[in-house]
């Protein structure tokens, strides 16, 4: 594929090549070539839910048809992590379907995605079906109501890779919020997670006259309050994972009240919807990784994954490789504290390696607040990433608002990201800027808004 340099380069990353520019250039070229063919992608999830995405590629006999595979592979990578799916239909030229089947196989370059999406998330054998466009199943999307229950005395918590945010809420009013530093990813003993989370909940409970319900969020996939996959538990050996699988069910029994825990991205979007009193919101949390969630125009969530951390952002062949998935140029490396640490050397900032991630981020943020020019360039670079990537997300979501929050947006950094991203949209993508507003919550909501929104998840019988 031809990679298009952006008009606005990140100050600390001149080799950045936005996914949106390459994808749009490819489809324009295919259409204008006069020798193109439609490609329809179907993504099947649980209970027969189907998403469809329609695009165009070069005809098989066109000299540039070899570019089709790279375009479609990166498109599939975005679709499977934004919308989800264990069975993928490739409705188009047979050679594209066969190539994608090989790439997304147990022995292919996307073996991580093959195992993660199939076995770990959907309990299915991940498969790719090559077919004609007419054979791709009809769209069948689902949506569900989420949270917004604020009556009574509630605890809300958000489990991040650097801290636990916990809040005590009475009839929708937060009376106590606190952050507790922890390092769950490095821990191999399930007792550590159980102890730290339980202590945080007990602290919040001590501020309430009683506890009526508990709601929580965390990076990962949760089904019926059971842990399927979660980055916080990456250090737990497989033979001990059963000890954390039912962790939240155990805590529900301990407190004897309704308890709900869901993906932190969904709570991010819910927090935005509740704060703005608007819908059509994509929430993006910039923390230890990139979390995302979507509240549609009806104020509901879908069964999409919204795992923005694994969706491509940068097509630069030398883009950073994300350690867990082994893929390069994906969101986790651009909208997180890991991005801050990655760009710090280029900004002339040294970070002591012995510090934990929360302490490392604090050092760089203090540099920013003190006027360090290099530190400012870190957040300006993230803002450039954000502007081009929001335009990319708008090709997949029906957006009206994008709310950015999380520890990386605390202090003046959040405003720098916001101002830079909005400038990119207005300059490069005016049609997106006309309908999508990128916004920040206030400082308090930025840091603890998710835990307060999480408190609204359970229904009190």
For the chain, the residue count is 461
Architecture of domain 267-453: 2-Layer Sandwich (3.30)
pLDDT of residue 444: 54
Q: What percent of the chain has pLDDT over 90?
A: 77
Compare 263 and 175 and report the one with higher pLDDT: 175
Q: How far are the Cα atoms of 339, 356, 363 from residue 353, in angstroms, in the given order?
A: 15, 8, 12
Q: How far apart are CA 166 and CA 224, in angstroms?
A: 21
Tokens standing for residue 339: 């991005």
Q: What percent of the chain has pLDDT over 70?
A: 98
Residue range 308-337, pLDDT digits in tens: 999 999 999 999 999 989 999 999 999 999
Average pLDDT over residues 345-372: 95
Q: CA 317 from chain center: how many Å?
A: 22
* 58 pLDDT higher than 80: yes
Mean pLDDT over all residues of the chain? 93
pLDDT of residue 94: 96
* 271 pLDDT higher than 80: yes
pLDDT of residue 335: 97
pLDDT of residue 405: 84
Average pLDDT over residues 418-428: 97
What is the pLDDT confidence band of residue 445, given thresholds at 50, 70 and 90? Answer: low
Residue range 2-46, pLDDT digits in tens: 999 999 999 999 999 999 999 999 999 999 999 999 999 999 998
Label each residue of the chain as H, E or C: CCCCCCCCCCCCCCCCCEHHHHHHHHHHHHHHHCCEEEEEEEEECHHHCEEEEEEEEECCCCCCCCHHHHHHHHHHHHHHHHCCCCEEEEECCHHHHHHHHHHCCCCCCCHHHHHHHHHHHCCCCCEEEEECHHHCCCCECCEECCCCCCCCEEEEEEECCCEEEEEEEECCEEEEEEEEECCHHHCCCHHHHHHHHHHHHHHHHCCCCCCCEEEEEECCEEECCEEEECHHHCCCCHHHCHHHHCHHHHHHHHHCCCEEEEEHHHHHHHHHHHHHCCCCEEEEEECCCEEEEEECCCCCEECCCCCHHHCECECCCCCCECCCCCCECEHHHCCCHHHHHHHCHHHCCCCCCCCCHHHHHHHHHHHHHCCCHHHHHHHHHHHHHHHHHHHHHCCCCCCCEEEEECHHHCCHHHHHHHHHHHHHHHHHCHHHHCCCEEECCCHHHHHHHHHHHHHCCCCCC
* 443 pLDDT higher than 70: no
Q: How far apart are CA 260 and CA 89, in angstroms?
A: 34
Helix orientation angle between 19-33 and 67-82, rounded to the nearest 10 degrees: 130
* 358 pLDDT higher than 80: yes
Rounded to 5°, the CA angle 327-315-378 comes to: 90
Number of neighbours of residue 189 by Cβ within 10 angstroms: 13
* 61 pLDDT higher than 90: yes
What is the pLDDT confidence band of residue 449, given thresholds at 50, 70 and 90? Answer: low
pTM (two decimals): 0.87
Name the CATH superfamily for 145-258: ATPase, nucleotide binding domain (3.30.420.40)
Q: CA 161 from chain center: how many Å?
A: 14
What is the pLDDT confidence band of residue 447, given thresholds at 50, 70 and 90? Answer: low
Average pLDDT over residues 167-193: 92
Domain extents in the chain: 34-141, 145-258, 267-453
Residue range 189-203, pLDDT digits in tens: 999 999 999 999 999
Residue range 115-158, pLDDT digits in tens: 999 988 898 999 999 999 999 999 999 998 889 998 999 999 98
* 417 pLDDT higher than 60: yes
Average pLDDT over residues 64-79: 97
What is the pLDDT confidence band of residue 276, given thresholds at 50, 70 and 90? Answer: confident
Q: How far apart are CA 84 and CA 380, in angstroms?
A: 31
**In this structure, what are the phi and psi dihedrals at residue 9, rounded to the nearest 5 degrees?**
-90, 145
Do the domains spanning 145-258 and 267-453 agree at the CATH topology level? yes
* 275 pLDDT higher than 80: no
pLDDT of residue 120: 86
Average pLDDT over residues 286-292: 88
């Amino acid at each position: 594929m031809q990679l298009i340099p952006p008009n606005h380069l990140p100050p600390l990353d001149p080799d950045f090549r936005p996914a949106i520019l390459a994808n749009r250039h490819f489809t324009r070229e295919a259409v204008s070539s006069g020798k193109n063919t439609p490609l329809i992608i179907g993504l099947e999830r649980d209970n027969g839910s189907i998403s469809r995405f329609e695009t165009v590629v070069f005809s098989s006999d066109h000299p540039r048809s070899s570019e089709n595979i790279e375009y479609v592979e990166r498109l599939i990578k975005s679709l499977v992590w934004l919308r989800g799916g264990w069975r993928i239909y490739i409705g188009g030229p047979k050679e594209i379907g066969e190539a994608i089947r090989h790439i997304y196989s147990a022995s292919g370059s996307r073996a991580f995605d093959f195992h993660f999406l199939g076995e770990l998330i959907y309990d299915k054998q991940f498969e790719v079906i090559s077919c004609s466009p007419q054979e791709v199943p009809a769209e069948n999307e689902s949506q569900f109501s989420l949270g917004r229950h604020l009556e009574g005395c509630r605890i809300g918590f958000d489990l991040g890779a650097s801290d636990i945010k916990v809040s005590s809420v009475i009839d929708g009013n937060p009376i106590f919020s606190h952050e507790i530093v922890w390092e769950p990813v490095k821990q191999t003993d399930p007792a550590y997670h159980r102890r730290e989370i339980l202590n945080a909940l007990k602290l919040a409970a001590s501020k309430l006259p009683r506890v009526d319900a508990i709601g929580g969020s965390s990076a990962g996939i949760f089904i019926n309050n059971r842990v399927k996959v979660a980055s916080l538990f990456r250090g737990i050996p497989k033979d001990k994972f059963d000890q954390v699988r039912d962790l939240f069910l155990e805590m529900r029994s301990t407190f004897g009240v309704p308890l709900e825990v869901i993906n932190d991205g969904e709570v991010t979007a819910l927090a935005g919807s509740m704060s703005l009193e608007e819908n059509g919101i994509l929430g993006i949390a910039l923390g230890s990784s990139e979390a995302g969630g979507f509240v549609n125009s009806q104020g509901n969530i879908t069964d999409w994954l919204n795992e923005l951390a694994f969706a491509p952002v940068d097509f630069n062949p030398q883009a950073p490789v994300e350690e867990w998935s082994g893929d390069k140029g994906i969101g986790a490396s651009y909208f997180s504290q890991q991005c801050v640490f990655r760009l710090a050397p280029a900004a002339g900032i040294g970070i002591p390696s012995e510090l934990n991630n929360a302490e490392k981020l604090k050092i760089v943020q203090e540099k920013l607040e003190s006027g360090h020019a290099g530190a400012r360039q870190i957040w300006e670079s993230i803002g450039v990433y954000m502007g081009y990537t929001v335009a990319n997300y708008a090709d997949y979501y029906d957006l009206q608002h994008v709310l950015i929050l999380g520890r990386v947006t605390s202090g003046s950094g959040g405003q720098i990201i916001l101002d830079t991203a909005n400038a990119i949209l207005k300059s490069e993508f005016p049609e997106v800027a006309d309908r999508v507003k990128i916004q920040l919550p206030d400082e308090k909501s930025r840091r603890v808004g998710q835990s307060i929104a999480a408190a609204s998840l359970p229904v009190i019988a």
